[in-house]
Amino acid sequence: MQMLAGDVVLVVGGGSGLGLGVVRHCLAEGARVAVLEVSEGKVEQLHEEFGHGVLAIRGDVTELADLESARARVLDAYGQVDAVIACQGIFDGQVPIADIEPERLATLFDEVFHVNVLGHLLLARVFHDALAEQHGALVLTSSTAAYAADGGGAVYTATKGAIRSLVGQLAFEFAPDVRVNGVAPAGIAGSKLAGPGALGLAATTQDAIPKDAFLDTFRRVSLLQELPTAEEYGPLYAFLASRHNTIMTGQTIVADQGLLNRSVLTPARA
């Protein structure tokens, strides 16, 4: 049985990386999928891969007008919205705060918090009524960086901690009509998470890290040794977005490949 058969799912930031993996899995689970994506080039790529199988909308999650337009287009096309999955985000390059010029910090904060936090808040507000009408679901994306140090720099980590808290608050406010949960991924093979313009890293993505070096580090600290693809996170998002989830709201699933279950006394793997 398909997890999302007949449901309408909007994936925000679904043009690449984690979001694209979630889009592919939701389609496989029978959903009618819409995508909100800020990059015109990625919207074109969605058209090339899925044709009319996905409603691809160009828009900025930090712009209220774009979100309201996307809501109208999804409702016009499908008549309902059963779930919204938020996969948008930018990284901070894992630059230590002591290495950031003080005069750049406020700009960096504004840039990363706008996408990673304000985008989630606006999304929740704009789609609340449509989701409530369907007794639907909102699924946000946090990170293992919200649970342990060294998953990003200070600004990125602060945003992901905010999302972890926001999941609980929105679940409380939206109950019982909308289930609100989150996923906190760790490593993702081929991650396209971009860096901030404030640090001159807007053209850099996480997959620019040499694959062998990244895998070597990942395997030293993780209990599971295979770096998951974006598609492998899809089942978690699909379950939380689906009507099969009747038991969870206000929770964030930590999908860390055993990363946080680190040794205390036993030496780390060579």
Which of 24-51 are b and which e, b meaning 16 or more Cβ less than 10 Å from the residue's Cβ? bbbbebbbbbbbbbbeeebbebbeeebe
The DSSP bridge partners found for residue 187 are none
Sign of the Cα torsion 96, 251, 60, 47 reads positive
Q: Of these residues, 147, 156, 233, 237, which one is catalytic?
A: 156
Is 233 among the residues known to form the active site?
A: no
Among 17, 111, 115, 107, CA closest to 59:
115
Would you call 105 exposed, middle or buried from its count of C-beta atoms within 10 A (0-12, 13-18, 19+)? Answer: middle
Q: No. of H helices and E strands in the chain?
A: 8, 7
Active site residues: 156
